[in-house]
Amino acid sequence: MNKTVVIYESKYGYTRRYAKWIAEELSCRIFKKRNFHPKDFSQYDTIIYGGGLYAGGVSGIKLITQNWHLLSDKKVVLFTCGLADPGDPYNISNIQKSLSKIFSEEMMKQICLFHLRGGIDYSRLNLIHRSMMSMLRRMLLKKDPDTLRDEDRYILDTYGKCIDFTDKESIRPLTDYISSCSG
Ligand SMILES: Cc1cc2nc3c(=O)[nH]c(=O)nc-3n(C[C@H](O)[C@H](O)[C@H](O)COP(=O)(O)O)c2cc1C
């Protein structure tokens, strides 16, 4: 019996929503990262980890990188949840560049990646996140407008608002992949 677990860290709830949908679809257990003890990796064959993207990093990803010795014989699936459109190959390439700084080559080979689109509600951001987004906005406003990418313009247009791109259907490639592995 292939045992699967979903573990996630979510600051504002977008990754949590995806993690819940995935666990429901796969009928498997789900844990917040802070409630999961690494010794319990031994109970599972497939580990699905989800985290929000923050300045290129993945929230809580140390659970995977620091416990890699417990994961080498397991199927490891990572889903990121970010604002950037994963339908744009430029964004995927940026995410993968950031991930290659976090993971060793061996890890990159073993981890199966999926990118899901989350959202942002500026009214709920903590002070640090709010000032990071304000810095990003100032930086974009200083650029020559003709050099801005659509994604940059979108950040400027929606700055201060509440946007939600979460879409249950977008988990399908991930859940189909897991189902195909467990035959
Ligand atoms: C300070 C800050 C930095 C962010 N950096 C990125 C980023 O590098 N790439 C991206 O796609 N989204 C980025 N986002 C958007 C978040 O990934 C998005 O809000 C996501 O849905 C958060 O998921 P969570 O609420 O589950 O943590 C950033 C958001 C904030 C507030």
Q: Rounded to an integer, what distance in angstroms lies between the CA atom of residue 82 and that of residue 153?
A: 17
Per-residue pLDDT for 1 more than 70?
no
Which stretch of DSSP H or E encloses residue 111? strand 111-117
Give the start-to-end residue ranges of the domains of the chain. 4-118+171-181, 120-164
Residue nearest atom 29 of ligand 1, based on CA coordinates: 54
pLDDT of residue 56: 87
* Cα–Cα distances in angstroms (integers) from residue 70 to residues 57, 74, 101, in the given order: 22, 8, 21
Express each pLDDT in 73-105 by its tens digit. Answer: 999 999 999 999 999 999 999 999 999 999 999
Express each pLDDT in 104-138 by its tens digit. Answer: 999 999 999 999 999 999 999 999 999 999 999 99
Q: What is the average pLDDT across 26-31?
A: 97
Please tell me whether the overall predicted TM-score, pTM, comes out greater than 0.75 for this model: yes
Candidate CATH numbers 3.40.50.300, 3.40.1190.20, 3.40.50.360, 3.20.20.110; the one for domain 4-118+171-181: 3.40.50.360
**Ligand 1 contact via 118 beta carbon (within 6 Å):** yes
**Tokens 């796969």, residue located:** 26
Express each pLDDT in 29-75 by its tens digit. Answer: 999 999 999 999 999 999 999 999 999 899 999 999 999 999 989 99
**Ligand 1 contact via 126 beta carbon (within 6 Å):** no
Closest alpha carbon to 76 in 41, 105, 25: 41
Say how many Å lie between the CA of residue 52 and the centre of ligand 1. Answer: 6
